[in-house]
A = this chain, B = another copy of it.
Amino acid sequence: MTNEAEDQPRRRRRSAKPAAAKPQPRQPRLRFPPVNLVSADELESIHHAALKVLGEIGMDILHAEAKALLKDAGADIAPGSDRVRFDPALVESQIGLAPTSFTLHARNPARNVEIGGAYTAFCSVASTPNSFDREGGRRPGNHRDFQNFVKLGQTLDAVHVWGGYPVEPIDIHASVRHLVALFDMLTLSDKPIHAYSLGRERICDGMEMARLARGIDAETFEREPSLFTVINSSSPLRLDTPMLEGVLQMARRNQVVVLTPFTLAGAMAPVTLAGALAQQHAEALAGLVVAQTARAGSPFVYGGFTSNVDMKSGAPAFGTPEYMKTAIIGGQLARRLGLPYRSSNANAANSLDAQAAYESVFSLWGAIMGGVNLMMHGAGWMEGGLQASFEKMMLDADLLDMVAEFLRPVKVDVEELAFEAMQEVGPGGHFFGAAHTQTRYRDAFFAPMISDWRNYESWREAGAPTAYDTAERLYKSRLAGFVAPPIEPERLAALEEFVARRKAEGGAPTDF
C-alpha cells in the first residue's frame, strides 16, 4: 500500500508549492457503503437484460483476432459476420477473473495508486479538442497548452492520475503525437499515465514508454500494471477495430483496460435509464469477455458514463439528476461483477459559472455515493468534454480536495468529545481562547484554495473577486512556480532514445 500519508490532510496551506517537493498525496477512501438506488432484484433484472442483449441481439466486434478468440471461447458468430452473440454461460464464466483491486504504478512509486476496493483515484481532464483560459480564450488544443496542463496537474495533489491527454495537441503530427505527448507526461510529471487505443503501434509505444520510465524489465511490467487505456464502445452494441486492438494488446500484457460505453439515453441508448444501463452493462460485459479471454485475470475497470441528452437539441447533458442516478447504479453494476468502478466529474457548462460548479458537484455526488474507484475528468473538464479549462482545473482541484476531506473519518473519542473544554468555557462563553481550541486550531479545518470567506465589505474592497478570478490567479501562480519532478538520467535517456528511434521510423500510421 502506498497511502501512508493518507490521513494527513492538506490544511491551511494556500501557497502553490510544486507537488514534487511534497510527500505522496493521500488517496481518499470511501468510509461508508455506497448508496444503492435499485434493489438487489432490480439489479439482477438489469444484469439479465444485458445477458439477453448479448445472447439474442449480440454485439458487432470489428476485429478478426478478437472474433477468433471469442469463437474459440464459444461465442456464436456466423461466417463472414461481425455480429457476435454471447451465451450467458460464456459471459458468466468470465466474471470474477479480473482483480477487484490492483495497484496502478507510476514512474515515481510514491505516486502509485490503488484502483478498487474502498479507494478512489482522481484523474485529470482528458481528450478534449479545445483548450481555454480566460486571458487567451478558447482555441484548438496545442502543444504549449498541453504541456501547461501537464505542469499544472502535476502541482495539484488532487490529480492522482493522468486520464489521457488533457487537451489534444493537434499541432503535433498525428504520426508522432503520442510519442511527444507521452514523453511530456512522463517527464513533466511523475504520476501514472494513460495511453490511447488508436491502433497497435500507439498502444504498444505507450506500454514501452511506461516501462522505460519506470526502469523495469518486461517481466516486472507484466506483473505490475503501469498504465491504463480507456476503451469506449461505439454505442449501441459495437466495439471498433482500434479499440479492440487496445484491449488485446493491453490485456495480454496485464495492463489496465477501462471499458466505458458512451450510452447517452435517447441517442446511442434507450431513452429510459434502466434501458440505457442495461445496454451499458451489455457493452461492458462484452469488453470484459474480450479482455479476459485474451488474458484471464488482467485488470479491468467497469466504466459508467450513461447520461441524458437535451431532447430538443440532442446535446448531451451532464451532472443532471439522471446522470447522478446512473452514476450510482453504475457502481452497483460494477460491484455486481466484482470490478473497480469508473465514473466522471462532468458538466455541460460553457463558462466557469454557477452551472459549471453545480453540475460538477452533482456529478461528484453521484460518483462518490456510487463508490467510484477511478474518477475520470476530475479536474478541468468543461462543455461536455469539448474544452479543457485551466481555471476549471484549478477550481476542480479544490472541489476534489473537499471531497477527499469529506471522506476522512470524524474522530469520536474522549479528547474529541471535548467535555472538559465545554466545562472550561461554560454557558455563554466562547471557545476561541480555550486550551482545547488553542492546541488544535491551526490544523482543525480544511483550508480551501478558492473559497473566499471574507465579509462582504472586505471582499468588495479587495475588488469583489469571484471564484473564477481566484482560480485564474492561482493557476497562473502555480504554472509560474512549476518545477519538473526529478527523473533518473538513465531512464530519461532511454525515453529520449526510444522516441527518437520511433520518430525516425515514422511513428504510427495515420490511416485510422
Contacts and interface: CB of A to CB of B under 8 A. Distances in A.
Contacts of A310: 445, 453
A175 B4 CA distance: 62
Contact of A402 (B57, B138, B320): B320
A256 B144 CA distance: 62
A94 B234 CA distance: 62
Given A313-B453, A412-B38, A358 B355 contact: no
A126 interface: no
Given A322-B446, A417-B45, A452-B350, A268 B236 contact: no
Contact of A350 (B35, B234, B426, B456): B456
Contacts of A365: 361, 365
Contact of A321 (B58, B276, B348, B405): B405
Nearest to A9: B321
B406 A325 contact: yes
A236 B425 contact: yes
A448 B417 contact: no
Interface string A429-441: 1111010110011
A427 B236 contact: yes
A197 interface: no
Among A37, A386, A413, A434, which residue has the most Cβ atoms of chain B within 10 A? A37
Nearest to A361: B361
A265 interface: yes
Total copies of this chain within the assembly: 2
Interface stretch (A46-54, A67-75, A181-189, A204-212): A46-54
B428 A237 contact: yes
24 contacts: A53-B422, A57-B422, A83-B427, A234-B428, A236-B426, A236-B430, A267-B432, A268-B430, A271-B431, A271-B434, A278-B418, A278-B422, A313-B454, A321-B408, A324-B406, A325-B406, A348-B451, A348-B453, A350-B459, A350-B464, A354-B356, A354-B395, A358-B467, A359-B451
Given A236-B428, A237-B426, 7 more contacts: A236-B427, A237-B428, A266-B437, A270-B422, A276-B418, A311-B445, A354-B467
